[in-house]
Amino acid sequence: MRGAEVTRKTKETEIQASLCLDGGAVRVSTGIGFFDHMLTALAFYAGWGLTLTAKGDLEVDGHHTVEDAGIVLGQALAQALGDKAGIARFATAFVPMDEALCRTVLDISGRPFLVFEADMPQELIGGYDSCLTEEFMRALAVNAGLTLHQRALYGKNAHHITEALFKSLGLALKEAAAVKGEGVTSTKGVL
């Protein structure tokens, strides 16, 4: 089983995550309902087992909780992938959500980079600041070692755009992390 457990405690947040790339139950509790919904969708479409709990300074806002959850989940993903032997490495996924269409393209390369092109028509989705999606994706990409490109091709509803981004990320991660062979998928012999 490919898995990892990561804990992060700062003056702003305390987050624990247990990740299994090969499936299992999904339980998420961050104190931000919409974000819980997005992490649950991400795990479901990635085919993961995930338990993630977060206690953050939500009296300030959700920024620290969302960003630190991305850090912890990224670190857990990197640990669970290990030496990355046999993984497909690259993947692309499109997800439509009503009027919105989003694309995720990624490389589990060990070289973190984020290109994020998704304007959010509304600032708030429930109690979730829509601008935090980019912060989460950056923290995840940097800490997991992903080259991650995401784009909302179109859409008028921030909820739909955000959900399509998280779901397409899950689908792409499932494909890229799938074990397809034995060696490392790189002409350099290492990722």
Mean pLDDT rounded to a whole number for the chain: 96
Q: What are the strands, taking DSSP E only, across the chain?
A: 3-9, 13-20, 26-29, 49-56, 90-97, 100-107, 113-117, 124-125, 128-129, 147-154
- Tens digit of each residue's pLDDT (9 = 90 or more) over 18-36: 999 999 999 999 999 999 9
Res. 184: pLDDT tops 80: no
pLDDT band of 85, cuts 50, 70, 90: very high
Tokens for 115? 């290109």
Mean pLDDT of the region 49-74: 98
* DSSP state, residue 87: B
Mean pLDDT of the region 181-189: 76
Closest CA to 186 of 78, 81, 110: 110
Question: What type of residue sits at position 138?
Answer: R
Domain annotation for the chain: domains and CATH numbers: 3-177 (3.30.230.40)
Tokens for 89? 């490495």
Mean pLDDT of the region 111-122: 98
pLDDT band of 1, cuts 50, 70, 90: confident
List CB contacts of 174: < 8 A, sequence separation 6 or more: 45, 46, 47, 91
Question: What pLDDT is stored for residue 185 in this prediction?
Answer: 73
pLDDT band of 163, cuts 50, 70, 90: very high
pTM of the model: 0.96
**Whether the Cβ atoms of residue 30 and residue 39 lie closer than 8 Å to each other:** yes
How far, in whole angstroms, is CA 17 from its chain's centroid?
13
Question: What pLDDT is stored for residue 153 in this prediction?
Answer: 98
